[in-house]
Protein backbone atom coordinates (compact mmCIF):
# COMPACT_ATOMS: atom_id res chain seq x y z
CA UNK A 1 0.00 0.00 0.00
CA UNK A 2 2.49 2.55 1.14
CA UNK A 3 4.13 4.21 -1.81
CA UNK A 4 1.32 3.42 -4.21
CA UNK A 5 -0.32 6.27 -6.04
CA UNK A 6 -3.66 5.51 -4.47
CA UNK A 7 -3.23 5.92 -0.73
CA UNK A 8 -5.47 4.04 1.66
CA UNK A 9 -6.97 6.42 4.18
CA UNK A 10 -8.72 5.12 7.26
CA UNK A 11 -11.53 7.00 8.93
CA UNK A 12 -11.99 6.37 12.62
CA UNK A 13 -15.58 5.15 12.59
CA UNK A 14 -16.52 4.88 16.25
CA UNK A 15 -18.94 7.83 16.08
CA UNK A 16 -19.40 11.01 14.05
CA UNK A 17 -19.51 12.21 10.44
CA UNK A 18 -17.66 9.37 8.76
CA UNK A 19 -19.59 9.32 5.48
CA UNK A 20 -18.87 12.93 4.50
CA UNK A 21 -15.12 12.32 4.78
CA UNK A 22 -15.39 9.11 2.76
CA UNK A 23 -17.13 11.02 -0.03
CA UNK A 24 -14.53 13.81 -0.19
CA UNK A 25 -11.57 11.41 -0.03
CA UNK A 26 -13.03 9.11 -2.68
CA UNK A 27 -13.67 12.12 -4.95
CA UNK A 28 -9.99 13.02 -4.54
CA UNK A 29 -8.89 9.54 -5.59
CA UNK A 30 -8.09 7.93 -2.24
CA UNK A 31 -9.25 4.51 -1.11
CA UNK A 32 -10.98 4.66 2.24
CA UNK A 33 -11.65 2.15 4.96
CA UNK A 34 -13.40 2.41 8.30
CA UNK A 35 -11.27 1.86 11.38
CA UNK A 36 -12.74 0.52 14.60
CA UNK A 37 -10.21 -2.09 15.67
CA UNK A 38 -6.46 -2.16 16.16
CA UNK A 39 -5.79 -4.53 13.26
CA UNK A 40 -7.53 -2.13 10.86
CA UNK A 41 -4.87 0.46 11.68
CA UNK A 42 -2.20 -1.68 10.02
CA UNK A 43 -3.67 -1.38 6.55
CA UNK A 44 -3.77 2.42 6.30
CA UNK A 45 -1.39 5.13 5.10
CA UNK A 46 -3.25 7.94 6.83
CA UNK A 47 -6.20 8.45 9.18
CA UNK A 48 -9.06 10.93 9.49
CA UNK A 49 -10.58 11.65 12.89
CA UNK A 50 -14.08 12.96 12.10
CA UNK A 51 -16.27 15.45 13.87
CA UNK A 52 -18.75 14.13 16.36
CA UNK A 53 -18.42 14.09 20.14
CA UNK A 54 -14.85 13.88 21.32
CA UNK A 55 -15.65 12.45 24.76
CA UNK A 56 -17.74 9.66 23.17
CA UNK A 57 -15.04 8.85 20.61
CA UNK A 58 -12.48 8.79 23.45
CA UNK A 59 -14.60 6.34 25.49
CA UNK A 60 -15.31 4.10 22.51
CA UNK A 61 -11.63 4.08 21.47
CA UNK A 62 -10.75 2.78 24.92
CA UNK A 63 -13.65 0.27 24.92
CA UNK A 64 -12.58 -1.07 21.48
CA UNK A 65 -8.92 -1.28 22.59
CA UNK A 66 -7.91 0.89 19.66
CA UNK A 67 -6.70 3.87 21.69
CA UNK A 68 -3.20 2.64 22.59
CA UNK A 69 -2.27 1.35 19.10
CA UNK A 70 -3.65 4.54 17.60
CA UNK A 71 -1.60 6.73 19.93
CA UNK A 72 1.45 4.64 19.05
CA UNK A 73 0.92 5.04 15.30
CA UNK A 74 0.46 8.80 15.64
CA UNK A 75 3.76 8.94 17.56
CA UNK A 76 5.41 6.96 14.76
CA UNK A 77 4.34 9.62 12.25
CA UNK A 78 1.10 8.32 10.75
CA UNK A 79 -0.46 11.26 8.86
CA UNK A 80 -3.68 12.23 10.64
CA UNK A 81 -6.30 14.84 9.83
CA UNK A 82 -8.76 15.75 12.60
CA UNK A 83 -11.86 17.91 12.12
CA UNK A 84 -13.70 19.45 15.07
CA UNK A 85 -13.97 16.61 17.61
CA UNK A 86 -11.02 15.12 15.71
CA UNK A 87 -9.00 18.25 16.45
CA UNK A 88 -9.83 17.90 20.15
CA UNK A 89 -8.67 14.27 20.05
CA UNK A 90 -5.34 15.31 18.49
CA UNK A 91 -4.62 17.99 21.08
CA UNK A 92 -1.97 17.27 23.69
CA UNK A 93 -3.97 19.41 26.16
CA UNK A 94 -7.69 20.25 26.34
CA UNK A 95 -9.79 22.74 28.27
CA UNK A 96 -13.41 22.00 29.25
CA UNK A 97 -13.22 18.27 28.65
CA UNK A 98 -15.62 16.08 30.62
CA UNK A 99 -14.24 14.42 33.76
CA UNK A 100 -11.61 11.87 32.78
CA UNK A 101 -11.65 12.79 29.10
CA UNK A 102 -8.45 11.77 27.32
CA UNK A 103 -7.07 12.63 23.92
CA UNK A 104 -4.82 10.71 21.53
CA UNK A 105 -2.48 13.69 21.33
CA UNK A 106 0.19 14.50 18.77
CA UNK A 107 -0.59 18.18 18.28
CA UNK A 108 1.39 20.33 20.71
CA UNK A 109 -1.54 22.61 21.46
CA UNK A 110 -4.18 23.45 24.03
CA UNK A 111 -7.67 23.15 22.55
CA UNK A 112 -10.85 24.40 24.21
CA UNK A 113 -13.99 22.35 23.58
CA UNK A 114 -17.17 24.22 22.63
CA UNK A 115 -15.19 27.45 22.43
CA UNK A 116 -17.81 29.50 20.60
CA UNK A 117 -20.49 29.45 23.26
CA UNK A 118 -24.22 29.18 23.07
CA UNK A 119 -25.19 32.00 20.74
CA UNK A 120 -22.88 30.90 17.98
CA UNK A 121 -22.91 27.15 18.51
CA UNK A 122 -23.22 26.73 14.75
CA UNK A 123 -22.21 29.22 12.11
CA UNK A 124 -20.55 29.46 8.73
CA UNK A 125 -17.94 31.99 7.81
CA UNK A 126 -15.23 32.66 5.25
CA UNK A 127 -11.65 32.25 6.37
CA UNK A 128 -8.58 33.51 4.59
CA UNK A 129 -6.09 30.64 4.62
CA UNK A 130 -2.86 31.81 3.00
CA UNK A 131 -1.48 28.25 2.85
CA UNK A 132 -4.37 27.36 0.53
CA UNK A 133 -4.45 30.56 -1.52
CA UNK A 134 -7.63 31.95 -3.04
CA UNK A 135 -10.56 31.74 -2.69
CA UNK A 136 -11.12 31.91 1.07
CA UNK A 137 -12.39 28.82 2.83
CA UNK A 138 -16.12 28.47 3.51
CA UNK A 139 -16.02 27.00 7.00
CA UNK A 140 -18.84 25.38 8.97
CA UNK A 141 -18.41 25.55 12.74
CA UNK A 142 -20.62 23.20 14.77
CA UNK A 143 -20.11 23.37 18.55
CA UNK A 144 -16.56 23.90 17.49
CA UNK A 145 -13.34 24.00 19.48
CA UNK A 146 -10.61 26.63 19.20
CA UNK A 147 -6.87 26.47 19.71
CA UNK A 148 -5.77 28.49 22.73
CA UNK A 149 -2.03 27.95 22.74
CA UNK A 150 0.48 26.23 20.49
CA UNK A 151 4.00 24.90 20.90
CA UNK A 152 6.90 25.92 18.63
CA UNK A 153 6.47 23.06 16.13
CA UNK A 154 2.87 24.01 15.35
CA UNK A 155 1.90 26.27 12.43
CA UNK A 156 -1.44 28.05 12.70
CA UNK A 157 -3.17 27.97 9.29
CA UNK A 158 -6.32 29.97 9.99
CA UNK A 159 -7.87 32.29 12.53
CA UNK A 160 -11.41 33.58 12.99
CA UNK A 161 -12.04 37.32 13.06
CA UNK A 162 -11.37 37.64 16.79
CA UNK A 163 -7.93 36.10 16.33
CA UNK A 164 -8.52 32.65 17.73
CA UNK A 165 -6.70 29.88 15.87
CA UNK A 166 -8.97 27.33 14.18
CA UNK A 167 -6.66 25.36 11.89
CA UNK A 168 -3.11 24.13 12.45
CA UNK A 169 -0.52 21.63 11.34
CA UNK A 170 2.50 19.99 12.88
CA UNK A 171 4.52 17.53 10.82
CA UNK A 172 2.09 14.93 9.47
CA UNK A 173 -0.78 16.19 11.64
CA UNK A 174 -3.46 18.53 10.31
CA UNK A 175 -6.38 19.83 12.37
CA UNK A 176 -9.33 22.10 11.68
CA UNK A 177 -11.96 23.23 14.19
CA UNK A 178 -14.48 23.40 11.34
CA UNK A 179 -15.88 20.91 8.82
CA UNK A 180 -14.59 21.38 5.24
CA UNK A 181 -16.29 18.10 4.29
CA UNK A 182 -19.67 19.76 4.84
CA UNK A 183 -19.20 22.82 2.64
CA UNK A 184 -17.68 21.33 -0.51
CA UNK A 185 -14.22 22.55 0.49
CA UNK A 186 -11.65 19.96 -0.60
CA UNK A 187 -8.33 21.76 -0.18
CA UNK A 188 -7.63 20.60 3.38
CA UNK A 189 -8.22 16.98 2.34
CA UNK A 190 -5.96 17.53 -0.69
CA UNK A 191 -3.26 18.96 1.56
CA UNK A 192 -3.64 15.96 3.87
CA UNK A 193 -3.44 13.49 0.96
CA UNK A 194 -0.23 15.17 -0.23
CA UNK A 195 1.26 14.48 3.22
CA UNK A 196 -0.03 10.88 3.09
CA UNK A 197 1.55 10.35 -0.35
CA UNK A 198 4.84 11.93 0.73
CA UNK A 199 4.96 9.76 3.88
CA UNK A 200 4.33 6.61 1.79
Given candidates 20, 40, 53, 148, which one binds ligand GLN under the rule CB under 6 A? 53
Which of 24, 66, 78, 88: binder of ligand GLN (CB under 6 A)?
Answer: 88
- Alpha carbon separation from 18 to 5, 47, 51, 109, 155 (Å, rounded): 23, 12, 8, 24, 26
State yes or no: residue 143 binds ligand GLN (CB under 6 A).
yes
**189 belongs to the catalytic site:** no
Please identify which of the residues 21, 84, 169, 189 carries the catalytic annotation.
84
Q: Give the shortest CB-85-to-ligand GLN separation in angstroms.
A: 3
Rounded Cα gap, residues 180 and 139, in angstroms: 6
Q: Closest approach of Cβ 156 to ligand GLN, in Å?
A: 19
Whether 84 is catalytic is yes
DSSP state of 98: P
Answer for the pair 23, 54: CB distance below 8 angstroms, yes or no.
Answer: no
179 is catalytic: yes
Give CA 176 to chain center in angstroms: 6
Q: Is 82 in the site for ligand GLN (CB under 6 A)?
A: no
By CB under 6 A, residue 85 contacts ligand GLN? yes
Specify the stretch interacting with ligand GLN by CB under 6 A; choose among 28-36, 64-72, 81-89, 131-139: 81-89
18 lies in the binding site for ligand GLN (CB under 6 A): no
Question: How many residues form the binding site for ligand GLN (CB under 6 A)?
Answer: 11
CA 99 vs CA 58, 59, 94, 102, 199: distances in Å: 12, 12, 11, 9, 36
Rule CB under 6 A: choose which of 7, 46, 52, 82 binds ligand GLN.
Answer: 52
Which segments of 100-184 does DSSP mark as H helices, in order?
Answer: none
Pairing relation of β-strands 155-159 and 8-12? unpaired
> What is the binding site for ligand GLN (CB under 6 A)?
51-54, 84-85, 88, 113-114, 142-143
Amino acid sequence: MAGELTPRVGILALQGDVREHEAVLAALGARTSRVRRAEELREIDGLVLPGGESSTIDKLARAFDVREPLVARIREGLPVYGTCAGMILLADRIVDGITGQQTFGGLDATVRRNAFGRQSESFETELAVSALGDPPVRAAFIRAPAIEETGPAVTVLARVADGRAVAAEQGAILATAFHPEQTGETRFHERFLAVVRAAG
